[in-house]
Chains A and B, each alone.
Chain A
Amino acid sequence: MLDFSFDFKKGNFHINIQESLPTEGVTAIFGPSGCGKTSLLRALAGLDYYSTSTIKMNETTWQDGSLTVPTHQRNIGFIFQEPNLFPHLTVEENLKFGLIRTLKNLQKIDFKCVVSVLNIEDFSQRDPHQLSKGQKQRVAIGRALLSSPKILLMDEPLSGLDTQSKSEIIPYLEKVSKQFHLPIIFVTHDLAEISQFTDQVLFLDNGRSTNFLPITEAFNSLNSPLNKSHSPQSIIETKIDSHDEGYFLTYLSFPGGKITVPMINKSIGENLKIRVPSQGVSITLKKAIDTSVQNILSGTVEEIKLFDQAKVYIQIDCEGVKLIAAITKKSLDELKLQKGLNIYIQIKSVEILT
């Protein structure tokens, strides 16, 4: 666990957070800009120092009163918004900067492996200024990995990138989180773009932590801070159940039933996250039979939330898995929906995440 307690002022801004984050998987720190995400991350890394903080990483104390472990001894990797490759070094020298400063017996991550996972081979001999922004950020990630950190801290590494470079780098981030078994703490203001490889979310607002939720809860619960501002979308963790070669379809299973999607090139038993926009979910009281919709599931109304005069969000429980449907106020009244009612849902659109 990464336990910390912060109580400090930065300018006029007061940060007061006590939290305990798991040191496995990917934890997103999410909040609007100016909520203290970056300050929190910098304090964790020891880049900013506040005497009132305490930080403990597993069994190692990083900060407590007068005791402070400096950044270079914290065994961390840090990715900034800007890649900031050292301009006087080549790409390869950048990559090896941390590696050559890591004791041999602590070197757990292999140079060749990083270079091939991040697909850097082709330009490792170049100078940083010759690379695209997406390539630079990949090198920055590789450079951090090669110092064999115990935890990787990322401060919105996607925010400076255009859509093209983002799509170039997101698959690599995902590979990194899977392949190197590194705990990652990822600061972001756009949770959707990293939802496929995030396990839990710490919500910050105005210098305080408001919620700490698993990623599916963060998306699929109407009470989640995420759904105050965004149009809700549900994330469902499924397994590949079977393929239908004849119709070129794949069936995904999850506790609430089965979902049909166009065929996916993955083998049976593999995990897959899918995203269901709330507009793509409709509700019927009886199971429709003469319908083109393939995905019909049964569930229970769990929560009803008026969005505006016309729109209502319904949170539905399908055998423990939450889903959100967006319907009109008129439909709500006509169907006489209320908490606890058993209903059927039709899912019209599904987006495959991983």
Chain B
Amino acid sequence: MISHDDLIALWTTLKLAIITTILLLLIATPLAWWISNTKWKFKFFLEALFSLPLVLPPTVLGFYLLLFLGSNGPLSHLTNSSLAFSFYGLVFGSIIYSFPFVIQPLINAFNSLDDSYKEIASTLRAKPLDVFFSITLPMVKPSFITAAILGFAHTLGEFGVVLMIGGNIPGVTRVASIAIYDHVEMGDFQSAHVLSAILLIISFSLLVSIFYLNQKRETKC
């Protein structure tokens, strides 16, 4: 029903999505918090930069990433190795590609959080860091789940960027979306069907869970 190669491609996809999502949450959380709290007058510039992957064609993004990560790029001068066509190159690209999907819900959540909760906590002897962990984070938890699921699902469906910087190395950078493309190219519609259906089901279930959580949250308030 599903070939060994396709299983490996699926596994690579999942691994990529999981690692990317975890790293994204770690990077985006402090940044989102900072963006929502800073009064820096040029923050609009950063917000625009973070949203760029939303509108840029993935091939353009992939092209610049290839130059940046490639053996003549600035990163390889620092690290003495090329990240292009490697799994961690894909992780790097995916982080940039899915960045807006993770940071935006977090910025919105931090922005919409009523300051008076933090103020009350401080009148109840909570220090600023304590306020962040005991009030701010738990109160934006639903948005964390949304951000994580969106980042994960968006990384699953990545194609253009991966093709540009990852190529199609089985077991290393060959992800499900590229495997599907290959199958269609070769006329193997049977395999394309199976892989597509799997991606469709995973993506749809993830979105269903987001909207279910949102609805549950609304009825609770």
A83-91, A181-189, A314-322 - the one binding chain B: A83-91
CB distance from B126 to the nearest CB of A (A): 6
A102 CA / B126 CA spacing, docked (Å): 9
Chain A residues with Cβ below 8 Å from B134 are 97
**Given A98-B125, A144-B124: A47 and B119 within 8 A (CB)?**
yes
Number of residues in B with C-beta < 8 Å to the partner?
Answer: 21
- Over the window 94-114 of chain B, the binary record of Cβ atoms lying under 8 Å from chain A Cβ atoms (1 yes, 0 no) is 000000000000000000001
B47-55, B135-143, B144-152, B156-164 - the one binding chain A: B135-143
Answer yes or no: A343 CB below 8 A from chain B CBs: no
Q: Which single residue of chain B is at the shortest CB-CB distance from A143?
A: B124
Answer yes or no: B122 CB below 8 A from chain A CBs: yes
A56 CA / B138 CA spacing, docked (Å): 35
**Given A84-B114, A84-B116, A88-B139: A72 and B123 within 8 A (CB)?**
yes
Answer yes or no: A346 CB below 8 A from chain B CBs: no
Chain B residues with Cβ below 8 Å from A97 are 121, 124, 126, 134
Answer yes or no: B120 CB below 8 A from chain A CBs: yes
Answer yes or no: A266 CB below 8 A from chain B CBs: no
Answer yes or no: A305 CB below 8 A from chain B CBs: no
Answer yes or no: A220 CB below 8 A from chain B CBs: no
B126 touches A72 (CB 8 A): yes
**Given A86-B135, A129-B220: A80 and B116 within 8 A (CB)?**
yes
Q: In the complex, given contacts A71-B123, A86-B120, what are 4 additional A-B residue pairs having Cβ atoms less than 8 angstroms apart? A: A70-B122, A77-B123, A78-B120, A88-B139
A272 CA / B221 CA spacing, docked (Å): 43
B117's partner among A70, A84, A98, A102 (CB-CB below 8 A) is A84
Most chain A C-beta atoms within 10 Å of own C-beta, residue among B119, B120, B220: B120
A129 CA / B218 CA spacing, docked (Å): 12
B139 touches A80 (CB 8 A): no
Most chain A C-beta atoms within 10 Å of own C-beta, residue among B124, B126, B135: B124
B139 touches A71 (CB 8 A): no
Chain A residues with Cβ below 8 Å from B120 are 78, 80, 84, 86
A147 CA / B124 CA spacing, docked (Å): 6
Answer yes or no: B127 CB below 8 A from chain A CBs: yes
B138 touches A88 (CB 8 A): yes
Chain B residues with Cβ below 8 Å from A102 are 125
Within 8 A of B (CB), among A62-96: 70-74, 76-78, 80, 82, 84, 86-88
Answer yes or no: A235 CB below 8 A from chain B CBs: no
Interface of B is mostly: helix
Chain B residues with Cβ below 8 Å from A87 are 139, 221
CB distance from A148 to the nearest CB of B (A): 9
Within 8 A of A (CB), among B194-221: 220-221
B127 touches A72 (CB 8 A): yes
A283 CA / B161 CA spacing, docked (Å): 93
Q: Which single residue of chain A is at the shortest CB-CB distance from B114?
A: A84
A78 CA / B118 CA spacing, docked (Å): 12
Answer yes or no: A101 CB below 8 A from chain B CBs: yes
Q: Which single residue of chain B is at the shortest CB-CB distance from A71?
A: B122
Answer yes or no: A57 CB below 8 A from chain B CBs: no
**Given A86-B135, A87-B139, A129-B221: A98 and B124 within 8 A (CB)?**
yes
A71 touches B119 (CB 8 A): yes
Answer yes or no: A45 CB below 8 A from chain B CBs: yes
CB distance from B130 to the nearest CB of A (A): 8
Chain B residues with Cβ below 8 Å from A72 are 122-128
A147 touches B116 (CB 8 A): no
A348 CA / B41 CA spacing, docked (Å): 66
